[in-house]
A = this chain, B = another copy of it.
């Protein structure tokens, strides 16, 4: 390698462009321009456009799983597990705002097979939350509701942070995670 990590530069440009303009509205030549090379030269480093999207989507899916799975596997009480998991989930989004946005909005442009793989991983991840929510309801620490509804409302609410959070703002990823966990556990009413 002449320049260290030219491939990583391409992925960094793709992260920025896919997350702001969207996958379909971003061209390979756009990515190349950001890196300072011609469009065709991208193919010396990468298989193709969809492969970049796939790698970025997996990168995000891994980040969420690696952050939350150990918490769910710990012997903490359900309310503490959920609080930590929610905070960690939001923190992962805030710390990887571009990749997370791509994960949430652009995975549907993958091939059918890869789309299926993403859906499977997402379902497995969601199951982690559903289990601890059901456990908390059984132990009467959470209000009794349909755990399927609560888990999906919860996760989609947390994911909303990707639509408005900007790293340049005053809130740190950690304080943001705490805010979301607190608000969703205790509600707005006092």
Known contacts: A160-B153, A179-B149. The answer to whether A142 contacts B24 by CB under 8 A is: no
Q: Beta-carbon contacts of A137-169 to B below 8 Å, as 1s and 0s?
A: 000111111000110111011011101100000
Q: Is the CB of B186 within 8 A of A184?
A: no
Q: Does A187 contact B (CB under 8 A)?
A: yes
Q: Is A180 an interface residue (CB 8 A)?
A: yes
Q: Which residue of B lies closest to A159 (CB)?
A: B160
- A42 close to B (CB within 8 Å): no
Q: Is A45 an interface residue (CB 8 A)?
A: no
Tell me whether B185 and A189 are in contact (CB under 8 A): yes
* Size category of the binding interface on chain A: 35 or more
Complex: A104 Cα to B105 Cα, angstroms: 11
Which chain B residues border A113 with CB–CB below 8 Å?
Answer: none
Complex contact B163–A156 (CB within 8 A): yes
Known: A24-B25, A159-B160, A160-B156. A186 touches B187 (CB 8 A): yes
User: A160 contacts which of B79, B141, B145, B157 (Cβ < 8 Å)?
Assistant: B157
Contact assessment for A186 and B156 in the assembled complex, using a CB-CB cutoff below 8 Å: no
Query: Judging by beta carbons under 8 Å apart, are B188 and A143 in contact?
Result: yes
**Is there an interface contact between B185 and A79, defined as CB atoms closer than 8 Å?**
no
What's the number of copies of this chain in the assembled complex? 2
CB distance from A24 to the nearest CB of B (A): 4
Residues A188 and B184 in contact in the complex (CB < 8 Å), given A25-B24, A156-B160: yes
The answer to whether A189 touches B186 (Cβ under 8 A) is: yes
CB-based nearest B residue for A140? B190
In the complex, the answer to whether B150 meets A161 with C-beta atoms within 8 Å is no
Closest 4 CB pairs of A and B: A156-B160, A187-B187, A157-B157, A24-B24
* A144 and B160 alpha carbons, distance in the complex (Å): 22
Apart from A136-B188, A157-B184, A185-B189, 17 more pairs, CB < 8 Å: A20-B108, A21-B108, A22-B22, A22-B24, A104-B163, A133-B188, A144-B190, A149-B171, A149-B179, A150-B183, A153-B161, A153-B180, A154-B188, A156-B161, A183-B187, A184-B184, A187-B187
